[in-house]
Structure 1
Amino acid sequence: MSNTPVYSPRTYLPGGLPALALCAGLLGACGDDKGGNDESTTTVASVGSISNTNATTEPTTTAVTLTNDTSMMKLDLPSEDTEVVTGCQTTDGSCNLLDILFVIDNSGSMGEEQTNLAANFPYLIQKIRDLKDDEEQLVNADVNIMVTTSDFGHPLCTSFYKPDYTPAKGAPINTACVDRLERFNGIGGGPKVPQACTNGCTPGAAAVPDGPFIHFTADTNNVVGFDGVGDPVADALSCIGPQGIDGCGMEAELETMLQALDPSKDWNKGGAPFLRVGAVLAIVIVTDEEDCATKNYDYFDPAKVNDPNYNQYWEDFPGTPGMKKDPTSAVCWNAGTDCQDANADTIYESCVAADKGVLQPTSRYINYLKDVLIKDKKKQVIMLGILGVPPVTEHNPLPPFEPTMGGVQSLVYRDWTPADILPGDPKTAEQKQYEFGIGPGCSNAATGQAVPPVRVKEVCESLNVPDDPNTPTNEAKLRCCIESICDTDFSNAINCLAGILKDELKPAG
Structure 2
Amino acid sequence: MRPATRTANTVLTFTVAALLGGCLGHPVKEVVYDKVDIVREPLRLDLNRDVDILFVIDNSGSMAEEQARLARNFPAFIAALDGMRADYRIGVTTTDVAHPGCSSGATPEDGALVLRSCLDAVAQGAFVFNDLDAAYACTEQCKLGPDELRQQPSVYDGELHPWLESIGGQANLAPGVAMADAFACFGPQGIDGCGYESPLEAMRLAITKARGPEGNGFMRDEALLSVVLVTDEADCSSNPAHKDIFTTNTTFQNDVAPQRTSATCWRAGTACSGAGPDFKECHAEDYSADGSPGADDDAVLHPVDRYIDFLAGLRGTSGEPTGQPAGDGGAAARDVLVSLITGVPVGYDRGEAEIEYHAAEPGSEQAINFGIAPGCTNSEDGSNSTAIPPVREREVAEAFAGEDGARNLFSICQDDYSPALEQIARSIEKALAPACAGACVADSDPETELLEPDCLVTAELPDASEVEVPACVRAGDGWAVPADADACFYTLVDPGGRSDFKGDDMTLVPGPDGQAIAACGQDGENLEFKILREGPRRPGIHYSAECVVAQGPESCHVG
When normalised by structure 2's length, the TM-score is: 0.60
Is the 1:382–1:480 contact (alpha carbons within 8 Å) kept by the matching residues of 2? no
**1:193-232 equivalent positions in 2, closer than 5 A:** 193-202=134-143, 204-205=145-146, 206-207=148-149, 209=151, 210-224=160-174, 228=176, 231-232=177-178
Larger radius of gyration: 2
Residues 146/285 of structure 1: CA separation in 2 closer, same or farther (3 Å cut)? same
1:425 maps to what in 2?
Answer: none
Is the 1:106–1:247 contact (alpha carbons within 8 Å) kept by the matching residues of 2? yes
1:127 maps to what in 2?
Answer: 80
State the shift of 1:403 in Å: 1.7
2:270 maps to what in 1?
Answer: 337
- The CA deviation string for residues 116-149 of structure 1, in whole angstroms up to 9 with x for no partner, is 0010122211111112xxxxxxxx2111110000
SS at match of 2:66: helix
1:146 maps to what in 2?
Answer: 91
State the shift of 1:155 in Å: 2.1
- The CA deviation string for residues 402-424 of structure 1, in whole angstroms up to 9 with x for no partner, is 52212xxx211112249xxxxxx
Residues 346/193 of structure 1: CA separation in 2 closer, same or farther (3 Å cut)? same
CA distance in 2: counterparts of 1:441 and 1:287, whole angstroms: 12
User: Gaps spanning 5+ residues in structure 1: where?
Assistant: 1-86, 132-139, 305-309, 319-324, 394-401, 419-428, 466-475
- The CA deviation string for residues 348-370 of structure 1, in whole angstroms up to 9 with x for no partner, is 11100111111000111101111
Question: Is structure 2 residue 115 aligned with structure 1 residue 174?
Answer: yes
State the shift of 1:478 in Å: 2.8
1:461 maps to what in 2?
Answer: 398
Whichever residue aligns with residue 312 of structure 2, its letter is: K
**Aligned match of 1:432 in 366, 382, 407?**
366
User: Gaps spanning 5+ residues in structure 2: where?
Assistant: 1-14, 21-45, 152-159, 288-298, 318-324, 327-332, 435-529, 533-559
Whichever residue aligns with residue 106 of structure 1, its letter is: N
CA distance in 1: counterparts of 2:336 and 2:140, whole angstroms: 31
1:280 maps to what in 2?
Answer: 224
Residues 115/352 of structure 1: CA separation in 2 closer, same or farther (3 Å cut)? same
Is the 1:328–1:435 contact (alpha carbons within 8 Å) kept by the matching residues of 2? yes
Residues 302/212 of structure 1: CA separation in 2 closer, same or farther (3 Å cut)? closer
**1:22-101 equivalent positions in 2, closer than 5 A:** 90-92=18-20, 93-101=46-54
State the shift of 1:208 in Å: 5.1
CA distance in 1: counterparts of 2:204 and 2:59, whole angstroms: 17
CA distance in 1: counterparts of 2:398 and 2:313, whole angstroms: 16
Larger deviation: 379-388 or 233-242? 233-242
CA distance in 2: counterparts of 1:352 and 1:359, whole angstroms: 14
Query: Which one has the bigger strand percentage?
Result: 2
CA distance in 2: counterparts of 1:90 and 1:113, whole angstroms: 39
CA distance in 1: counterparts of 2:171 and 2:188, whole angstroms: 20
Question: Is structure 2 residue 347 aligned with structure 1 residue 416?
Answer: no
1:352 maps to what in 2?
Answer: 283
SS at match of 2:129: coil
Is the 1:478–1:500 contact (alpha carbons within 8 Å) kept by the matching residues of 2? no
State the shift of 1:90 in Å: 4.7
State the shift of 1:435 in Å: 1.1
Q: Identity, % of aligned pairs?
A: 36
State the shift of 1:185 in Å: 2.9
Is the 2:74–2:421 contact (alpha carbons within 8 Å) kept by the matching residues of 1? no
**1:14-25 equivalent positions in 2, closer than 5 A:** none
1:294 maps to what in 2?
Answer: 238
When normalised by structure 1's length, the TM-score is: 0.66
Residues 411/183 of structure 1: CA separation in 2 closer, same or farther (3 Å cut)? farther
Question: Is structure 2 residue 240 aligned with structure 1 residue 317?
Answer: no
CA distance in 2: counterparts of 1:480 and 1:374, whole angstroms: 24
Number of residue pairs matched? 360
SS at match of 2:128: coil
CA distance in 1: counterparts of 2:264 and 2:279, whole angstroms: 18
State the shift of 1:271 in Å: 10
Is the 1:178–1:202 contact (alpha carbons within 8 Å) kept by the matching residues of 2? no
CA distance in 1: counterparts of 2:336 and 2:408, whole angstroms: 12
CA distance in 2: counterparts of 1:494 and 1:313, whole angstroms: 36
